[in-house]
Structure 1
Amino acid sequence: MNDHTTAIENRARTWLSEAVRSHDAVTVSALRSLLGAIGNAEAVPLPAGSDAGTLQSEHVAGAAAGVGAAEAERRVLTDDDVAALVRVEISERRSAMAVYGSSERSHRLAAEVVALEGLLDRP
């Protein structure tokens, strides 16, 4: 997690903790998926041909060694960026709902959509 989290991301993390405590598997699934998408969006790709770590550990093949060797630069997302990610997550679930018809999986996806929409409804 970086030092520049957005309001939506903070709310998602708070809601995730609450959902875990209340054993709300649907909300946990939706929020974990969203937080994963946020983490992926924050990732900055390595330049082509670069080596991930120049100092290698003799204990683990290919492992970076040294203080901060595993730290990677992260992109700072704005509230608008994160809101757009939430909308993508909602859109993906709605598309999947069309495929699943009126099955139990479709109902679960609909509940995930409601949970994600709640993140956008708050200031």
Structure 2
Amino acid sequence: MTNGTDQGLKARLRAGLTEAIKGRDRAAASVLRVALGVLENAEAVPREADADRNLAIGQIPLGAGAAEAPRREVTGAEQLALLAAEVADREAAAEQYRAAGREDRAERLAAEARLLAGYLGAQPN
């Protein structure tokens, strides 16, 4: 379960994704999907490797909700840190591409970083 601040960031990212899809902006839609995936994955609870090993066929859950997995609470600060890390990763990759003479790819990654940084309330370096 998440609090209102957490939902605010995810809701803003989802709204941005909807706008990008409607505007046929594939690059923005792609990076927003990745950002949402990062936040969703952070909520995943690790499972033991042999959690289902000793279940008899009758103990395996079936029906509605059977595929639901437990989720952990990710705070607003954690979500912002995850998104900031995505921005930093893209900025670093853009610099590497610039150093390699791939200005086209570097600019694409820099644009992705700027887009995500807008959701942090700050601009990338």
TM superposition score category, shorter chain reference: 0.7 to 0.9
Query: Size of the alignment, in residue pairs?
Result: 116
Greater CA deviation, 14-23 or 95-104?
Answer: 95-104
Task: Give the Cα–Cα distance (whole angstroms) in 2 for the partners of residues 38 and 94 of structure 1.
Answer: 19
Match of 1:17 in 2: 18
Query: 1:72-91 residue pairs with structure 2 within 5 A?
Result: 72-91=69-88
5+ residue gaps, structure 1:
58-62
* Matched-pair contact (CA < 8 Å) for 1:52–1:64: no
* Matched-pair contact (CA < 8 Å) for 1:6–1:77: no
Among candidates 62, 68, 88, match of residue 65 of structure 2: 68
Match of 1:42 in 2: 43
Match of 1:60 in 2: none
Q: Any idea what the Cα deviations from partners look like across 1:37-67, whole Å, max 9, x if unmatched?
A: 111101001134211894759xxxxx96333
5+ residue gaps, structure 2:
none
- CA RMSD, Structure 1 to Structure 2 (Å): 2.5
Match of 2:34 in 1: 33
**Sequence identity percentage:** 37
Name the structure where helix makes up a greater proportion of residues: 2
Task: Give the Cα–Cα distance (whole angstroms) in 1 for the partners of residues 106 and 50 of structure 2.
Answer: 43
